[in-house]
Structure 1
Amino acid sequence: MDIASIETFFVRPRWLFVRIETADGIVGWGEPIVEGRAEAVAAVVEILAERLVGADASRIEDHWQVMTKGGFYRGGPVLSSAVAGIDQALWDIKGKALGVPVYDLLGGAVRDKVRVYTWVGGDTVQALAEDALRAKESGFDAVKCNGAAQLGPIESPAAVRRIAAQFTELRAAVGDDFDIAIDFHGRFSTAMTRRVLPLLEPVLPLFVEEPVLPEFSRDLAAVTAGTSIPIATGERLFSRADFRDVLPTGIAVAQPDLSHAGGISEVRRIAAMAEAYDVALAPHCPLGPIALAASLQVDFATPNFLIQEQSLGIHYNQGNDLLDYLVDPAVFAFDEGYVARPTKPGLGIEVDEAAVRQAAREPHRWRNQVWRLRDGTFAEW
């Protein structure tokens, strides 16, 4: 089952897919991406392919070890994301070769369905509440939204109270039988985080995500000690080593991204590490269908799984959406806020290769915004 070819495809809205085919015609798909840096990841996939073409596709762990450690310089988002997409595709191939879903190769399913949440947004409190109520009416029982736009290191009392009031009103609109997750997106300084979190406690969020930037992870112990709100982080952590010092800080939820943190191979290990610290797994995934499919395979085999992010209708998906590159979109049918366990082999999806190749004829060059404060200084996006 030697690898015959490796191709990458830039597909809108902002995704990168990798296709790996074996000499006997088995095709596996992965999603290696750093949003806004897709070209760099594709270049690394091409470099890694030099060692992979001609090698046995079934030796997933050996390939993972060589890809991550075979160069003198290691780690970082670009390399780990390139590895992640290749790893997803290799698991897809192995599952298809054996005729079983990937979760069966990870020890088998521990649940029959996976809970998912959807993103909501709005420029006003009323618009945010209306969006959340539409999600509730469509069957979801959990949403996530951003905590604030650009913020200074320590904002005014008025700004702080506006943030708290927004979520107080959102809770009143949706009721208590509905979960609200709040993404701070690294926009809050440690000082602002500690000021705002106590005001959000009556809202009882499912979790507050990335309250501080990953480079300040050493401060998470002080953050978690100062609030009853479950703290989530991990979308910008890329390995077990990155999580090693974070898991003991008292966080409640680990959020590695299957397209950033070394793929299925590494995230299943991160999940096992998290379980030892009584930390739940909620994979980060505002990405495309292959990343979601890979995430679900891990979710179904992970005892300490909490909830899964997915990108259908997210504000990033302009022009193309989550289901556009699938032959059978029903595999991601969300029923009362859950997705059923897929039964097809590999990642459980069939990628519409013709649609992917057509889309790649007009490759995207997606870049995130750059924000500035009123005085002209850079603000975290």
Structure 2
Amino acid sequence: MTRDIRITDVRITPIAFRDGPLLNAAGIHEPWALRAIVELETSDGRVGISETYGDEPMLRVLAQAKELVLGLSPFDLNRMEERVRAAIRPGPGAVEFELAPGSHTAKNAAKVTSTFEVAMLDLQGQLLGAPVVDLLGGAVRDTVPYSAYLFFKYAEHIGRPYAADAWGEGISPAQIVAQAQRMIDAYGFQSIKLKGGVFEPAHEIACMRALRAAFPGLPLRLDPNANWSLETSIRAAPELDELLEYYEDPTPGLKGMAELARHTRLPLATNMVITTLDDFRKGADTGAVKVLLSDHHYWGGLRVTQTLARMCALWDLGMSMHSNSHLGISLMAMTHVAASIPNLTYACDTHYPWQEEEVILGGRVAFENGAVRLPGTPGLGVELDRGKLAELHAQYLACGVRNRDDLAQMRKYDAGFPGRTPRF
């Protein structure tokens, strides 16, 4: 009987993989991105997997939470969530970035819940012989579209910890267009997003104009990561109104976004000012945000993501998904839940093209015309490559990075880098 099967072991393996010198509002990515691979083993020998944040504070929280799922059935999602909410609290030690809600310790319970939920759904699918999307109500699409995610970047990391990536420098409009062309050629993306908030707005708008000229049929997005003041965001609006699909988090706070909404024809999008249900209520009251980028890692899981989608439908908001540096397990979890959401109105974000390494059997997840096809196999449809897991864990042990700190990394290039936001 499947109800007699219990979770008997929890394994947490921190990993590090190469990450490019990608610039953003906070600074620059470190050479190594951190993730944690979580395995839940059952009494009948099955293993469900999940991928989450791998910084030191998150690893401490996961270690604290291990005991909470032992003895549960993989189907006991509600009981797991109750236990996590009762036991897990915000804690010290994390570097919290406003541009990265997943770094916030206030979201510890949601992050742990999501991590366990994905692995338990993977187990459920294995037990029932069904893909995770079927456990979420079934697929409304067979493929999930993703967007080309462009970054301003340096050619290589300071100190040259390993060979430079093949993308090269991405600073000028021509270089950004070349980056987009390379990504579209490799993955077939049908929309383009540029991570902004790095250079003067005039330069970033020039890059968007160059992208529009090079790719006249593709929707464009610009995300200044709240690094533009309200005044700057309003001043940029007339030009961007002619270029963008939506205007993502140019200025801080719901109040600023609400005022900006009065000065642009574009829908405003966010993954920064709405990251909790209380934020959603406040945002709905202002009417400022028209597109919500969810993220199952810090919202609390795949089922909560479906709830958010229903709320977006009720309030007539568009829906997409946020991303940070991740591997194939996270990508497949995103794909399953996105395939179950009728009102996924925009292609999802993904950093996946920037990651060269992988931890799943068979290597990299394939894209078709910018989309990931749902696997028909049970659970998430991916399995761990034990050899690769060991390699990436060894990189974690050797790399010396334990907490993401884009500001400290940027000050290795520019000791006077201010780090304040908004800067422009």
Q: Structure 2-normalised TM-score?
A: 0.78
One-letter amino acid of the counterpart of residue 19, structure 1: E
Matches within 5 A, 1:204-215: 205-213=244-252
Match of 2:308 among 267, 270, 274: 270
* Deviation for aligned residue 1:71: 5.2
**How far apart, in 1, do the equivalents of 2:265 and 2:415 lie?**
33
Distance in 2 of aligned mates of 1:220 and 1:71: 32
Residue 353 of structure 1 aligns with which residue? 386
How big is the shift at 1:32? 2.1
How many angstroms does 1:191 deviate by?
2.6
Deviation at 1:236, TM superposition (A): 7.1
User: What does the per-residue CA deviation read over 1:161-190, in whole Å, with 9 as the maximum and x for residues that have no partner?
Assistant: 333222112211221x11222111222223
**1:50 is matched with which residue?**
67
Aligned-partner Cα distance in 2 for 1:192–1:375: 23
* C-alpha distance after superposition, 1:325-372 (max 9, x if no partner): 121347x32111222222111112122133213321331525232157
- Residue-by-residue CA offset, 1:63-93 (whole Å, 9 max, x unaligned): 1233124557697233322222112111111
2:290 paired with 1:279: no
Question: Cα 1:212–1:30, aligned 2, differ >3 Å: closer, same or farther?
Answer: farther
Report the count of equivalent residues: 359
In 2: Cα distance, 1:71 partner to 1:47 partner:
8
CA distance in 2, matches of 1:356, 1:374: 36
Of residues 213, 222, 225, the one that matches 1:172 is 213
Q: Secondary structure at the match of 1:260?
A: helix
Sequence identity percentage? 23
Partners of 1:98 and 1:236 in 2: how far apart?
39
Aligned to 2:82: 65
Instruction: Tell me the amino acid that sits aligned with residue 50 of structure 2.
Output: G
What letter is aligned with 2:56? E
- Change in CA separation of 1:51 and 1:78 when aligned onto 2, cut-off 3 Å: closer
| 3-state SS, counterpart of residue 309 of structure 1 | coil
In the TM superposition, what are the counterparts of 1:1-381 in structure 2 within 5 Å? 1-13=5-17, 14=33, 15-33=35-53, 38-70=55-87, 76-121=106-151, 122-138=170-186, 139-149=188-198, 159-175=200-216, 177-203=217-243, 205-213=244-252, 216-234=253-271, 237-248=274-285, 249-286=287-324, 287-305=326-344, 306-314=346-354, 317=355, 320-321=356-357, 324-329=358-363, 332-363=365-396, 364=399, 365=401, 367-370=404-407, 377-380=418-421
Of residues 191-200 and 242-251 in structure 1, the stretch that sits farther from structure 2 once superposed is 242-251
Gap runs ≥5 in structure 2: 18-32, 92-104, 152-169
Higher mean displacement: 296-305 or 41-50: 41-50
Contact 2:198 / 2:224 at 8 angstroms: preserved in 1? no
The answer as to whether partners of 1:237 and 1:261 remain within 8 angstroms in 2 is: no
Distance 2:51 2:12 in 1: 9
Would the alpha carbon gap of residues 22 and 242 (structure 1) be closer, same or farther in structure 2, given more than 3 Å must change? farther
Distance 1:160 1:360, change over 3 A: closer
Q: TM-score, normalised by structure 1?
A: 0.86
How has the CA–CA distance of structure 1 residues 71 and 92 changed in structure 2, closer, same or farther, with 3 Å as cutoff? same
* Matches of 1:361 and 1:236, distance apart in 2: 37
Amino acid paired to 1:4? T
What secondary structure does 1:259 align onto? helix
Cα pair distance change 1:232/1:98, threshold 3 Å: same
Q: Deviation per CA, 1:306-326, whole angstroms, max 9, x where unpaired?
A: 212222332xx3xx43xx212
Matched letter for residue 271 of structure 1: A
**Do the aligned partners of 2:254 and 2:288 also contact (CA within 8 Å) in 1?**
no
- Tell me which amino acid in the other structure corresponds to 2:359: Y
The amino acid across from 1:344 in the alignment is T
Distance 1:340 1:71, change over 3 A: closer
Farther off after superposition, 292-301 or 54-63: 54-63
Q: Choose 263-272 or 368-377, whichever is displaced more.
A: 368-377
Shift of 1:235: 5.4
Per-residue deviation, 1:380: 4.1
Task: Describe the SS at the equivalent of 1:349.
Answer: coil
SS of alignment partner, residue 269 of structure 2: strand
Query: Does the 8 Å contact 1:103/1:301 carry over to 2?
Result: yes
Aligned-residue offset at 1:301: 0.6
CA contact (8 A) 2:90 2:108 kept: no
